[in-house]
Structure 1
């Protein structure tokens, strides 16, 4: 299976197949990594505005840095099962003035 790690508004589980959002818990991750992925998605849902993006440059940079680190960790798990995962990071807009 090929997974895409990508945030979407109100999605608590940020994994997608080619066709749709994956069911909660797919791919199966260790509890600690599952919690980190959910925290990353929650951070997006709480702090990213569909109208203005991230409130600060720091928030944008931190979120993207966490995405890359999560991708590295998730890859280790899913690739051991013969699956693949890629990051689709689209939430790059920031409030005007940065």
Structure 2
């Protein structure tokens, strides 16, 4: 806990420095997600669907559009992260204009 703020800031700075090349983000923890998205210049999220209950899939709005999945830490099973990864991959391959 004593290093959480320092780690969150470092992660946000790293993500912000490569925001133009991000294909998708899986983020846990509200403060971490907010810091990373802010550093990437995200101004909002466009919700698509839930990957699993309580796990939203969205597209980042702002200078760089990429898929975003956010998840609180206290639920899910051993397949949840795999489902999130697949949802992000599927979003990248989806046609822009259906």
The TM-score normalised by the length of structure 1 is 0.38
Q: Which has the higher strand share?
A: 2
1 or 2 for the larger relative contact order (CA 8 Å, sep ≥6)? Answer: 1
TM-score by length of 2: 0.38
